Amino acid sequence: MTNPLLSFCPGNPTMPSIFSYQSSEIDWCEDNFVRSPIIAEYYNTVSNVCFFILSAALLHLNRQYCQQRTVPMYFISGLLLCVGVFSMYFHMTLSYVGQLLDELSILWTLAVAYSFWYPRAHFPRCIKSRKQFYWLGGVTTVITTLMSFIKPSINAYALNCIAFHLLYLTWRELKKCNDQRVHRMAKVMVVWWVLAITSWLSDRWLCWLCQAINFPYFHSFWHVLIAVSLLYCFPLVMYFDVTYEMPAFKPKLGYWPSDSWPIVVPYIALEEPHKQC
């Protein structure tokens, strides 16, 4: 369904503006403008609220860690808000600009997370300090940002591939860690990620089937499931960051609201003295 509010470039009625509704090459499975005349994909839009919740939860639950690592935590929290806002804008308009803002906000969130939290033990041999790694990450991100304009339709696939590198790093770190609670948290994170990526791929490649069963909402499930996966991923990253970068503390994994609850949210507490995992 085409939105009657679709705008075009002045003087050229055949060429849509990059800000126009439905000017993006990507259109997800959910039917457009069914629930609202100004929101293209209603459920794909409102499901981004989960990123606002994720941003607040990370700061609130990991207060001790945040006191020691204020800049990374507030940077990441702010960028997660940007991911939610820009994804909302994209799915509301399906515009070319919205698509790029959505994808680039994710790219820059990943870049900042890598810059702050990438373990020194895995630095390339030519990198001797965290400052040098910042420069490497910054230059790589700028180049990747420029490249994203060449073929925007493949950006989402490239971003999802980064998850495999994160899983590889997690596997390497878990081999050095004997805390079974951390291993369980990593397994739960992977389960949520598998559910999330399955939803994303289903919406992208099995839209015909989703339409046939009258359930074209898997992309909105992707938003929720990947946010839940990140609720487990970030404390895992923080755990290893304390191990490497904060020798005065020992990371302790806790669960909110309580260990005894069937559904919990992990967080990192800090204890002294530090003992190598």
For 263, residues 6+ apart whose C-beta sits below 8 A from its C-beta are none
Residue 27 annotated as part of some ligand binding site:
yes
Q: What are phi and psi of 24, to 5 degrees?
A: -75, 155
DSSP 277: -
Please give the pLDDT value at position 153: 86
Distance from CA of residue 174 to its chain's centroid? Answer: 22
Reduced to 3 states (helix: H, G, I; strand: E, B; else coil), residue 147 is helix
Please give the pLDDT value at position 262: 79
Residue 41 annotated as part of some ligand binding site:
yes
Give the pLDDT band of residue 276 (cuts 50, 70, 90).
low
Please give the pLDDT value at position 259: 82
Please give the pLDDT value at position 274: 47
Q: What is the rounded CA–CA span in Å between residue 63 and residue 72?
A: 13
Q: Express as a percent the part of the chain with pLDDT over 90.
A: 83
The two three-digit tokens of residue 256, written as one number = 């909110």
Is the model's pLDDT at 12 over the cut of 80?
Answer: no
Q: Which domains does the chain have, with CATH numbers?
A: 42-271 (1.20.1070)
pTM for the full model?
0.90
Helix/strand/coil (H, E, C) string of 2-22? CCCCCCECCCCCCCECCCCCC
Sign of CA dihedral 206, 211, 212, 213: positive
Q: What is the average pLDDT across 79-100?
A: 97
Within the chain, residue ranges assigned H as helices are 42-46, 49-61, 63-68, 70-93, 96-117, 130-147, 155-174, 180-205, 207-212, 218-245
Is the model's pLDDT at 275 over the cut of 90?
Answer: no
Lowest mean pLDDT among 29-33, 150-154, 234-238: 150-154
Calculate Rg over the CA atoms of the chain.
20
Residue 12 annotated as part of some ligand binding site:
no
Amino acid letter for position 206 = L
Q: What is the rounded CA–CA span in Å between residue 48 and residue 88?
A: 6
Reduced to 3 states (helix: H, G, I; strand: E, B; else coil), residue 60 is helix
Q: What is the average pLDDT across 141-159?
A: 92
Give the pLDDT band of residue 1 (cuts 50, 70, 90).
low
Give the pLDDT band of residue 251 (cuts 50, 70, 90).
very high
| Closest to 30 in 3D by CA, of 103, 99, 92 | 92
Please give the pLDDT value at position 258: 84
Reduced to 3 states (helix: H, G, I; strand: E, B; else coil), residue 20 is coil
Please give the pLDDT value at position 273: 62
Lowest mean pLDDT among 34-38, 151-155, 175-179, 258-262: 258-262
Q: Dump pLDDT digits (tens) for 224-236.
A: 999 999 999 999 9
Q: Express as a percent the part of the chain with pLDDT over 70.
A: 92
Please give the pLDDT value at position 145: 95
Q: Dump pLDDT digits (tens) for 187-236.
A: 999 999 999 999 999 999 999 999 999 999 999 999 999 999 999 999 99
For 193, residues 6+ apart whose C-beta sits below 8 A from its C-beta are 163, 167, 225, 226, 229, 233
Q: Dump pLDDT digits (tens) for 166-188.
A: 999 999 999 999 999 999 999 99
Residue 122 annotated as part of some ligand binding site:
no
- The HSE-up count of residue 31 (CA atoms within 13 Å, CB side) is 11
Is the model's pLDDT at 17 over the cut of 90?
Answer: no
